[in-house]
Amino acid sequence: MNMSCRLLAAVFLAAGLVGCASQQLPADAPATTALTVPGGTEFHVTLAVPIGSANMVGDSVSGTMASAIVVGDKVAVPAGSTIRGHVAGIDRARNGIELSFTKVTTPLGDDISMSGRLTAGVGISAVVPAGTDLKIILDQPLTITKRS
């Protein structure tokens, strides 16, 4: 390669690097905030599907957040969010059922993994109708990254 080709290549390379260095993130890029809901927090949920003696382990369950979960002065999980999970266990001898909840979907469509449970003697020979209010206990802290 002759000297003029090398010089020309060096000029193009330098111009490209200067152009890359001057690129910045857009000024309107959203900032993010991490909110942590402590383990043990109660989620007040309205059951969307009935549960009872006809249920089997693995059956899907869902409900809607009746009230928001607030951390400090910020809403971590808005009211109206959908909580999804499954039947984790049935103890027919004690008329008990265990529900495990694994996902929150906010009204804006954000999906957040979670770990929550409800264990109760609900009298599984009867049906607990949709619309029943439940208290789900968060098993472990839930960290949510929100766009500001």
Pick from 56-65, 112-121, 123-132, 134-143 the range whose average pLDDT is largest.
Answer: 56-65
User: For 27-147, which CATH superfamily applies?
Assistant: Type IV secretion system, VirB10/TraB/TrbI (2.40.128.260)
What pLDDT score was predicted for residue 37?
93
Query: What ranges do the domains of the chain cover?
Result: 27-147
> What number of helices (H) and strands (E) belong to the chain?
1, 10
What is the pTM assigned to this prediction? 0.70
**For 128, which DSSP code?**
B
Residue 13, pLDDT > 80, answer: no
What is the Cα–Cα distance from 51 to 66, expressed in whole angstroms? 18
What pLDDT score was predicted for residue 60?
96
